[in-house]
Structure 1
């Protein structure tokens, strides 16, 4: 997962949560560009006399994520070419901070948390998450409360990790173009029922005694087949914290031929509250031995 995708997903996860989790999006593009479309809930930052104007009503102390974006900057810096009448290759160049960075520096003293600059700007983000574009400017509190978090993106545009509620939401299925489900729970979802080509249902309880190990080979094969077909896969369990995370870890270990510890670190960056129970961790250790030919990760050393 790229850094901008990680930031985007983290920000999207916060929508609809309590005030302390909500984000502050700031758009430093022109008024025309902002009016045409912008990220949901983003406010445009105006500029006067070469200084960004921060509204006094903006309280960044209560948000965990503050993200600022411009149009399409890829780097934190931009190159300004000096005047050169001869148009030679020796024209002077100057590195300066981009608009989003300049605005971020002006706002940095207003928040307790680091300010994020969205790499690639609005163009890249809106291309990835088109369903978060809007022309709406004013949002009522009840409208903000209606926002629901989306599943976590594990492999960009290919594998998502979520919970049972998200797996039952038709809008999420449509927005993310979900074509297959891996359901690691006892519940039965409404999509792909009876279609074993598109639904892998691993019915295990949420307990340390649950045995996921016998299903891991089939799990990896199921996901691999769908990725080759170009399908987007959603892996989920009841809360999306334990069983589905174990399934994702097993697949990453198999796919990348890597250790449990390395796979764990990757998923933890994507989903900070993941917590497979100790029984599942022990089975993942056995899976590591199958994948790599030996046990490498010491699960006695807490992974959490």
Structure 2
């Protein structure tokens, strides 16, 4: 199996970003949820103001300490993850299922092998999309029913029980989910590197019921019928994807999207009567100027997330890679107070196809200097 798990579960040092710990059972240890607005640099504006295409953006200015001098932010680090080794959060599974590299990764039968370690009745009632009943792969008496050569073709092997967040191999884990533990150690003995869904099926389906099904979806033609969702950048708050996803009502409804940032030159609002839109006519080229777009998008997203009740924002361009990434990064820099390097690492962990063009990266570096008063990131570090 490919060395994906080691990269995912790498524990960051203070200069590296962590992974958000997802909402799981209350019995599981987790990092405290960070407030949406950790630092208010700009005065809030209404949705009507930021949705006005013909408005004069120059009238929206940052709060100032002194006349002519914008208030500078103090850099912060993303919170470190608190996930036991051998486990993966529901949010990480969501993003893995919806990863896109050229084409949706889920269309590849060898992208991820998901083994449902519950009983047959629970599996037939509902399971994570593309999951197989563990007994069809790991038999209690017959052992592994798939050859090691075949198993090694999978990039990821994911196991889950009904619940559970106890450390792998602990007495409590063995008592709570003996079938899962048996599968885990049998696969480990074969040289595989399986991972376990933190909180089990109950935690995942509570957050993503639309990614659970009664159907058995295994072969490639069946996989091509699956809906691919936008990447979840901030849990239950900020998403990034493509124009096709922004036009899919089922996606909008299932993710409870309330606000959309459109970063394409020619894209009509798909649901103008139900959603709030910020339309930015941007081109993905070396001439596009983002000087107005970055702060405008950042403020629009922040206002939506701080609304009562809190909104959910989808940022998109054509493919969800370059223009939308630049806008998402600007928000993370300004309203999470992260350097461009930390923001980019965070984003790429959640959306691997993130690829703002060189022109956008250069402008984001300038934006970083505007926000913090100095360059915190080197261009060479983010072009790797």
Which TM class, normalised by the smaller chain length?
Answer: 0.7 to 0.9
1:214 is matched with which residue? 292
d(CA) in 2 for partners of 1:56 and 1:154?
35
d(CA) in 2 for partners of 1:247 and 1:52?
53
d(CA) in 1 for partners of 2:207 and 2:331?
24
Which residue among 107, 119, 128 is the counterpart of 1:30? 119
2:279 is matched with which residue? 201
User: Is the 2:139–2:145 Cα contact (8 Å) retained in structure 1?
Assistant: no
Which residue among 132, 135, 145 is the counterpart of 1:55? 145
User: Is the 2:164–2:200 Cα contact (8 Å) retained in structure 1?
Assistant: yes
1:67 is matched with which residue? 158
Count of residues paired in the alignment: 290
Which residue among 124, 127, 149 is the counterpart of 2:206? 127
User: Is the 1:66–1:116 Cα contact (8 Å) retained in structure 2?
Assistant: yes
TM-score, length of structure 1 as denominator length: 0.84
d(CA) in 2 for partners of 1:54 and 1:76?
24
With 31-40 and 199-208 compared, the bigger mean Cα shift is at 31-40
1:88 is matched with which residue? none
1:150-299 pair list within 5 angstroms: 150-193=229-272, 198-229=276-307, 230-299=310-379
d(CA) in 2 for partners of 1:189 and 1:51?
58
Shift of 1:25: 1.0
With 240-249 and 129-138 compared, the bigger mean Cα shift is at 129-138
d(CA) in 2 for partners of 1:51 and 1:148?
37
d(CA) in 1 for partners of 2:209 and 2:233?
18
2:57 is matched with which residue? none
Shift of 1:153: 0.4
Structure 2's unaligned 5+ residue stretches are: 1-19, 22-87
Shift of 1:129: 0.6
User: Is the 2:98–2:106 Cα contact (8 Å) retained in structure 1?
Assistant: no
d(CA) in 2 for partners of 1:134 and 1:67?
17
d(CA) in 1 for partners of 2:266 and 2:151?
40
1:87 is matched with which residue? none
Q: Name the CA shift for 1:51/1:228 in 2 (closer, same or farther; >3 Å).
A: farther
User: Is the 1:26–1:69 Cα contact (8 Å) retained in structure 2?
Assistant: yes
Shift of 1:225: 1.3
Q: Name the CA shift for 1:98/1:218 in 2 (closer, same or farther; >3 Å).
A: farther
The one-character-per-residue Cα deviations of 1:142-199 (angstroms, maximum 9, x if unpaired) are 322211321110000110010111111111111111111101111314424488x810
SS at match of 2:258: strand
With 166-175 and 101-110 compared, the bigger mean Cα shift is at 101-110
SS at match of 1:280: helix
Q: Which has the higher strand share?
A: 1
For the aligned residue pairs, the C-alpha RMSD in angstroms reads: 3.0
Shift of 1:74: 1.1
With 42-51 and 136-145 compared, the bigger mean Cα shift is at 42-51
The one-character-per-residue Cα deviations of 1:72-103 (angstroms, maximum 9, x if unpaired) are 1113337548xxxxxxxxxxxx9999643431
Q: Which has the higher contact order (CA 8 A, sep 6+)?
A: 2
SS at match of 1:46: helix
d(CA) in 2 for partners of 1:171 and 1:74?
31
Q: Name the CA shift for 1:270/1:101 in 2 (closer, same or farther; >3 Å).
A: farther
1:85 is matched with which residue? none
Shift of 1:53: 4.2
Shift of 1:250: 0.5
Structure 1's unaligned 5+ residue stretches are: 82-93
Shift of 1:51: 5.5
d(CA) in 1 for partners of 2:139 and 2:187?
17
